[in-house]
Amino acid sequence: MNARKRWVLVVLPLTLAMLACTCSSQELFPTPTPVVVVSERVEYAVEDSVVVATPTPLSEEEIADVDEEDALLVNLYQRVNPAVVYIEVLVNEGGTLVPFGSGSGFVVDEEGSIVTNNHVVEEAEVVQVTFSDGAVVDARILGRDPYSDLAVIQVTVPPERLTPLELGGSSTLQVGQRVVAIGNPFGLAGTMTVGIVSALGRTLPAQVLQDGGSFSNPEIIQTDAAINPGNSGGPLLDTRGRVIGVNTAIRSMTGVNSGIGFAVPIDTVKRIVPDLIENGVYHYPYLGITSDNRFTVAELAGPLDLPVTQGVLISEVKPDTAALQAGLRGGDREVEVMGMTVRAGGDIIVAIDGTEIFVFDDLIAYLVRETEVGQEVILTIIRDGEELQVPVTLGERPATDGP
C-alpha cells in the first residue's frame, strides 16, 4: 500500500518567497512546497490533519499597560503643545525683510515671556511667533545670554491665550529616564519625539563668539530623543509634562539627528531667565584663570611629576581679576608633553568650598551653579607639594571671556 503524500503549507505575514533547491538526489531532497502569503496565520497540513498556529495574544493586563502608556503621551502632547511656539527670524536685506532662520520656544508666564535659544534670535531684526492654533504675532527680545545659549522673547497677547509650562527640576534626573521633546524640526510645527536621558553632566564644546571670545556650557543633558534643526529652543520634558531642559544642539556629521542631542538643564534656566526678563543680561561670577584643557591633571601627573592626579592646573592668572588679588599663581615654565607645549608650575585647584574638583568642567559647573558675583569662596590648592586654603572674592565675568 502506497504511503500518503506529505505536504506542508506555511503562511507567513511578512515574507513572500519561492523556495527552490538543486540537489543530486531527488529522493533525499524532494522539491519543497512553495510558500504563499495569504494572511497573518500559519497553517500546517500534515497527513489530512490541519493545525492552525496564531500569535500568542497579549494578556488584558499587558494591553491595559500599552493603552495607559499611549494615553499618557497623548495627554502630555495635548497639554503641552499649545505652549510651544514656532519662532521665525527675519533680517533686513536691501530694505526688505527676509527669513533668516527659525526655531522653537515655549511660554513660561502669563506676561507673554517665551524661552528659546540665544542662537535662534541673536541675528534677528524682527522676530515672529506662530502659536499652535496658527496665530502669528511679533515678539521683542527681552534678554540674551550667549554663555548658556538662552534667550527670552515676549509677545503681547491676552493672558487667556497663553499656556505657561510647569518647570521641573534637573538635579534629580537619572540616566534612562524617559523624556519627550516637542518643537518644530525643519519647520514641521508641533512635532513630538520620545527618548531617554542618555547621559548627564556633559559640557558643550567651546563656542566662539563674534568678537573672538569663547565659552563652555556645563551640566548639559544628553538625550536620544530625536532633535533636529528647528527643535532649538523647544522644551525637553519629563513624562509628567514638566520642562527639564531646553533643547539646544545635536552632535551629527550630517547636520540631522544621529541619536545624540543636548539640552540646557532647567535648573540653569531657572537661575538665568529671571535676570534676562528683568535686566536683559545675566552676570556670571568670574575667577580669572586659564587652564590647558587638552590635558587633565591625571594625564599630566606623570610627565610633570605632579603630587596629585585630579584638579585644575592653572596655566595663567589674568590681570585685574579675583584670582590675582587672591594670590593664585599660574605656570612659570613651558614643558613639552606628547609633542605639545604645556605651561607648568602653577597652582592646582583640587576643591572649591569643600567640593572636590576633578577636571576643569567641574570648576566651571560649580561657579555657574553655586556662586554669584561678589561671593567669597574657599579654594583648596596644591602649591609646591603643600595644600593651602585660599579665600577668593569672585568678580564679574567679562563679556567674552572664560571662567
125-147 pLDDT, tens digit each:
999 999 999 999 999 999 999 88
Residue 264, pLDDT above cutoff 80: yes
Indicate whether 350 pLDDT > 70: yes
Q: For residue 106, which of 77, 133, 81, 125 has the smallest C-alpha distance?
A: 81
Lowest mean pLDDT among 2-16, 296-310, 362-376, 389-403: 2-16
Q: Residue 213 pLDDT > 70, yes or no? A: no
- Domain tally, the chain: 3
Do 193 and 238 belong together in one domain?
yes
266 and 289 belong to one structural domain = no
Write out the residue range of the structural domain in which residue 266 sits.
178-271
What local confidence, expressed as pLDDT, does residue 42 receive? Answer: 45
Please return the burial class of 233, using the count of CB atoms within 10 Å of its CB with bins 0-12, 13-18 and 19+. buried
317 in Cβ contact with 324 (< 8 Å)? yes
Q: Which residue has the cell 596655566?
A: 315
Task: List, in sequence order, the alpha helices (H) in 266-388.
Answer: 266-279, 297-304, 322-325, 360-370
pLDDT value at position 55?
Answer: 72
Q: Do 245 and 308 belong together in one domain?
A: no
Active site residues: 119, 149, 232
pLDDT value for 60: 79
> What's the confidence (pLDDT) of residue 257?
62
Q: Name the more confident of 362 and 9.
A: 362
Q: Are residues 198 and 250 in the same domain?
A: yes
Longest dimension (CA), the chain: 109
DSSP string for residues in 317-338: E-TTSHHHHTT-----EEEEET
**How far apart are the two ends of the chain, measured CA to CA in Å?**
95
Mean pLDDT of 342-349: 96
Residue 14 lies in a domain: yes
What value does the mean pLDDT take over residues 269-276? 96
What is the predicted pLDDT for the residue at 66? 74
388 and 330 belong to one structural domain: yes
Same domain, yes or no: 295 and 356? yes
**Do 264 and 293 fall into the same domain?**
no
From the CA atom positions of the chain, what is the Rg in Å?
30
326 and 381 together in one domain: yes
Which percentage of the chain shows pLDDT scores above 70? 80
